[in-house]
Structure 1
Amino acid sequence: MGIQMPIQSNTLSSQVKHYILDMIAQQQLTPGMAVPSEIKLIEELGVSRGVIREAYRSLSALGILEIKSGKVPRVKAFDSSVLQLIFGFSLASSQVSVSQILSVRRWLEIGSAGMAAANGTEEDFLLLKAEMEQLAATIFRPGEFIQHDINFHLIIARASGNPLFGILLQSLYEQLRLSVHAGLEAQSETHEKLNHIVALHQTICDCVCARDGAGAMKAMTNHFDTAVNSLIEKGEQIQLAE
């Protein structure tokens, strides 16, 4: 019987992929800057065009490179798209629950509210106030309200000065959208509760714009410990019933 050789997991395309990643780091390439063309990498590494293209496709799928037909691949700005896929798959395959996603979002939101109060600009505050008006105006229209709610919280995340808050929260929001929508519809006839949700957001807005970090964090905590928890729980019950 012949000796069986172990399968090599580190394929040529994988090696090329790591070569490109190392090069991006060493040369400190920033979003929009080009990486070597296929021809240049073929000459440097002595591998086939197919191997190079496979490595490029892998890096594109990871959100690292932006590839357009007929153009040299470029470093892509970091966004939430890949994380959205990961969180979406984890939720769809029952590896995480809506309440677990909400728990992570809760801590991110509380932290971003405090930082937004400290680091936000007057422009950020004007955007937040304008979104607050839209949020209040659409509270009885769940589909519209949810989008304004997401915008409201993303403005706070961006105002924090830490881009990771916005990227992480955006990737989590997409997984919560359906459950929050279901929860809102379940309470659509309870005007008092819906108006309370608006009041909670208004307090967050007022504290952030007043640069009251402690107040903003407390208001965000109240937001999650009351209205949002109730909405998500109802949303999960509806999903399970389906």
Structure 2
Amino acid sequence: MTANPTKKPIFTARPASPSRLADGVSDAIAAALFDGRISPGEPLPPEGEIAKEFGVSKPIAREALRQLTTAGLIFTQQGKVARAKALSGEPMERIYGYAVRSSLKRLQEANEMRRVIESGIARLAAERRDPSGLEVMKQAIADMRASLHEPAAFTEADILFHLGLALTTGNVMIRVQMEGLRSVQREVSELFSRRANRTDADWRATIDRHQQVYEAIVTGNAALAEEKIKAHFDAADIASLEVADKLADKEA
């Protein structure tokens, strides 16, 4: 990559199989992104330097960068070098969004997936109790209370709460997964807003369930945190079925 022989190379891995050169190059660059050798916003070397570093052709280097762009790990502009992106759940969020908008069955499956995932997250959050995540959860509950009967604002507060839940684990990959699930949360909330009979008590009960999850985590009670998040999903499942039945009748 450089004429300076003392400079430490950014990429430490090398493609293992000649038949999958682009995959090997993209894996090595991704490793540099994940372990911090390339920071978000930092430019990657030009295609020619990448090709020289790995001993491959420019088209192979270009394909490796294309793979990383598709994965959401870098962004490119015409005529400019690629730059690293901050790790986020954006690619998964798009995929989940397409899925849950495709059919009620996919939406119900996504809810089931959230229940499985977030039960474990709540338990780990209670064990770790990262202060930054706890603060986000606390703020989200305050935002919920301030946005009663305002579906759009309430939805954003709800999404923020679950992001805070992930942040409280201190686990970057869990945070990314929760970001990916935002499209599922948003779709569910929009369905709930179609419920003409959603009362003030229903809104407040939703807030109370979030408050109970938060309190269990703050006190470090992992079993209770898992129990409360499951109770939250039980209540959400009842509402989901109510909405789903109405929508299914319209589709029939």
State TM-score, norm by structure 1.
0.79
Q: How does 1:181-200 map to 2 (within 5 A)?
A: 181-187=190-196, 189-200=198-209
1:225 aligned partner, one-letter code: D
Mean Cα deviation higher: 144-153 or 193-202: 193-202
Is 1:17 the counterpart of 2:22 in the alignment?
yes
Structure 2, unaligned stretches of length 5 or more? Answer: 1-18
1:21 aligned partner, one-letter code: S
2:229 aligned partner, one-letter code: M
Matches of 1:205 and 1:22, distance apart in 2: 38
For the structure 1 residues 26 and 191, does the alpha-carbon distance in structure 2 shift closer, same or farther, using more than 3 Å as the test? closer
Mean Cα deviation higher: 189-198 or 65-74: 65-74
For the structure 1 residues 160 and 136, does the alpha-carbon distance in structure 2 shift closer, same or farther, using more than 3 Å as the test? same
Quick one: which of 41, 56, 75 aligns to 1:45?
A: 56
For each residue in 1:71-104, what CA deviation from the matched residue of structure 2 results, as whole angstroms up to 9, or x when unmatched? 5334433321221232233334559611110111
Is 1:213 the counterpart of 2:222 in the alignment?
yes
Asked whether the equivalents of residues 98 and 176 of structure 1 are also in contact (C-alpha less than 8 Å), the reply is no
1:19 aligned partner, one-letter code: G
Matches of 1:124 and 1:211, distance apart in 2: 14
In the other structure, the counterpart of 2:241 is 233
Matches of 2:139 and 2:57, distance apart in 1: 57
For the structure 1 residues 77 and 230, does the alpha-carbon distance in structure 2 shift closer, same or farther, using more than 3 Å as the test? same
1:166 aligned partner, one-letter code: R
RMSD over aligned Cα, in angstroms?
2.9
SS where residue 79 of structure 1 aligns? coil
For the structure 1 residues 136 and 54, does the alpha-carbon distance in structure 2 shift closer, same or farther, using more than 3 Å as the test? same
Structure 1, unaligned stretches of length 5 or more? Answer: 1-13
SS where residue 97 of structure 1 aligns? helix
In the other structure, the counterpart of 2:128 is 119
Identity %: 23
For each residue in 1:177-209, what CA deviation from the matched residue of structure 2 results, as whole angstroms up to 9, or x when unmatched? 133222134055422222211111111111111
In the other structure, the counterpart of 1:161 is 170
State TM-score, norm by structure 2.
0.76
For the structure 1 residues 220 and 235, does the alpha-carbon distance in structure 2 shift closer, same or farther, using more than 3 Å as the test? same
SS where residue 193 of structure 2 aligns? helix
